[in-house]
Amino acid sequence: RRLNVRVNIELLSISNPVHKKDLAVRLTDDTDPFFLYNLVISEEDFQSLKSQQGLLVDFSAFPQKFIDLLQQCIQEQNKDIPRFLLQLVSSASVLDHTPVFLNVVETNPFKHLTHLSLKFLPGNDAEIKKFLASCLKCLKEDKMMLEEKLRKTEEDLTRQLSYTQQSLSEKSRELDKLKNEWTSYTTALTNKHTQELTNEKERALQAQAQYQQQHEQQKKELENLHQKSIQQLQNRLSELEVINKDLTERRYKGDSTVRELKAKLSGIEDECQRAKQEVLSLRRENTTLDAECHEKEKLVNQLQTRVAVLEQEIKDKDQLVIRTKEVLDATQEQKAILEESTEQKQSHIEKLETTIKSLSAELLKANEIIKKLQGDLKTLMSKLKLKNTVTIQQEKLLAEKEERLQKEQRELQDMGQSLRMKEQEVCKLQEQLETTMQKLEESKQLLKTNENVITWLNKQLNEIQMAKKLETSASTHGGVRTAISPHGMPDRPSVPSSGINHPISPLYAFQNFLEPAHNKNVNSQCPIQFNTQLSKMNQCSDVQIVTATSHPANKENGDNLGLESKYFKKKDDSIPLRGLSQNTLNSEYLKPYLPTKAQPSPKAAVTPASAYFPG
């Protein structure tokens, strides 16, 4: 059998003698007061129940889970085949004070699964009396509450009754007054209306005679108009028949145009797929371009390192020309490779631009075709209302195509932006190439100026050696005294005061001031400085080449001649320069080997010869 049972769940906490919690579950029936079953579960009992039935919930979460199962049973109770059932099973045929099992069962087509099975004990007399006493107490409290509510409602109703009776008496009096007023008013109105009716009847008779005359005239006019309208309608009927034939022909033509448009739409879809494939290929080419750009950046970095190596190699003395030539050849080869790669990139970019232009033109054509198709479809929709369903489907397809085309246009815009970025990167690479080429040209100009100075110095050395061999006999006859300056430099020989200043010959300078080559280190730096000194005794200005490696007085002698110190390193087989005469410095064959303008260089600056050579 099936009955409704009330389930009461309480969590009891007991502190004497040990603090523990018990779960009390009670089953009752509102129709049967002697129906009472109790169950008390302690934490130890729950552990045994958990192990027996394989529960996965702790004692603290068990009451809420049990309530959730009961709510699922309540939700499923009104269905024909409920999923969750609450079974009360007893061993006896009748519920007669025997232990009962409460099972929560889930049903499915394969098996009935019991989620939970609890054993309830029937209540004894004391428990039943206690339960009945609590029920009676609740009923008495409810009765007292209801009696108070009844008394209050009776008082409210009596008050409302007295008030309504008073209002009724007042309203009845008002009604009587209104009735008397209404009767007097109606009699006056009837008298007025009778007089007005007589007057109106006379007017109506006069108007009727006039209206009959007008009606006859209008009738004649309407007959004439009716005949004319019949003739016009007949003419209109013939015209409409002709128009109907034209419309039927246009309808057939519209059907044929719709078929053609469907074929064009299929062709446009194929073109869209081809465009997507081309976009994918363009993306792949963009990835290859990115890889090539990275390679070009690596090449640029290598070029920068090569330039730095070149700057370091320029400082070497012995292998200067050979290394610079090798580096120039390498840079020329790399320049040719870079030019070829840039030409390839430019051609590739032009190809991409042509493909993008063709794609954009095709897309514009497709958009124009779609717009035309939309206009034709709108006209067909207005003329052919019977084919609404077909045209709606076509409009949906066209909208999808438009969305696809818009997506492709966005992708094309993204591709254009990426191509612009690539072009900017190519411009940056070209700028870097130009800067490297400028540096190479500057290094070439420096090399040319340095080679010119070296050749001039070699010529001077050769001339001095030849003069030394030729004037060995003349030097023995000259009675010139020499004096050493306190800074280690030879002073100018003093000549008898005759008022004429004679320059010292280079042979004399090199014979008297040759020094042994103590330092045979090739990498030791000995900068040459051209200084002008005035002699107080004979007032003649000469140029001396002073070797100042460590003396502090040479710092005040000005800058060098735009050459780095490595070009004046000392060789084992070279003749040291100590001084040159004014005639040799002012000679005309020096002019083609000296620069006339200062060339900008990151390391050194070549200044004009007039800044260092007096006169």
Tell me which DSSP letter residue 529 carries.
E
The stretch 286-311 carries a mean pLDDT of 86
- Which residues, listed in sequence order, are joined to residue 490 by a DSSP beta bridge? 484
In angstroms, the CA 160 to CA 162 distance is 6
Q: Which two tokens stand for residue 97?
A: 């004070």
For residue 318, name the pLDDT band (cuts at 50, 70, 90). low
Is the pLDDT at 57 greater than 80, yes or no? Answer: yes
Q: Can you give the pLDDT at residue 159?
A: 92
Mean pLDDT in residue range 440-454: 91
Kindly tell me the sign of the dihedral angle through the C-alpha atoms of 237, 243, 246, 247: negative
Going by the DSSP 8-state scheme, the letter that residue 610 receives in this structure is: G
pLDDT in tens, 2-13: 888 899 998 888
Rounded to an integer, the average pLDDT of 589-608 is: 43
Please compute, for residue 272, the number of CA atoms within 13 A of its CA located in the half-sphere on the CB side. 19
**What integer pLDDT is reported at residue 402 of this predicted model?**
86
Average pLDDT over residues 151-163: 93
DSSP secondary structure, 348-414, as one string: HHHHHHHHHHHHHHHHHHHHHHHHHHHHHHHHHHHH-GGGHHHHHHHHHHHHHHHHHHHHHHHHHHH
Domains of the chain: 5-123 (2.170.210.20)
**Could you tell me which residue, 105 or 314, shows the higher pLDDT?**
105
Both tokens of residue 39?
A: 């169950």
pLDDT of the residue at 166:
92
pLDDT per residue over 380-397, tens digit each?
777 877 777 777 887 888
Q: Where residue 141 falls among pLDDT bands split at 50, 70, 90? A: very high
Let me know: does 272 contact 297? Beta carbons within 8 Å: no
- Residue-wise pLDDT for 432-442, tens only, equals 899 999 899 99
Q: Which of 506, 405, 403, 520 is nearest to 461 (CA)?
A: 506
| Tokens matching residue 561 | 């001649």
> Would you tell me how many other CB atoms lie within 10 Å of the CB of residue 14?
11
**What is residue 96's predicted lDDT score, i.e. its pLDDT?**
65
Please name which of 61, 59, 58, 70 lies closest in space to residue 7, comparing C-alpha atoms.
70
Q: Which residues, listed in sequence order, are joined to residue 88 by a DSSP beta bridge?
A: 102
Residue 577, number of CB atoms within 10 A of its CB: 20
pLDDT bin (cut points 50, 70, 90) of residue 513 is very low
User: Which among 32-36, 85-89, 448-452 has the top mean pLDDT?
Assistant: 448-452
Q: At what angle do helices 125-314 and 388-470 cross, to 10 degrees?
A: 40
Query: pLDDT grade, residue 508 (50/70/90)?
Result: very low
Q: Which of 37-51, 272-286, 304-318 has the lowest mean pLDDT?
A: 304-318
Taking a C-beta distance cutoff of 8 angstroms, is the pair 376, 398 a contact?
A: no
Percent of the chain having pLDDT more than 90?
Answer: 17
Question: Where residue 530 falls among pLDDT bands split at 50, 70, 90?
Answer: very low
Cβ–Cβ < 8 Å for 54, 138: no
Euclidean distance between CA atoms 345 and 352, whole angstroms: 10
Mean pLDDT of the chain: 76
Q: Identify whether 17 is preceded by a cis peptide bond (ω within 30 of 0).
A: yes
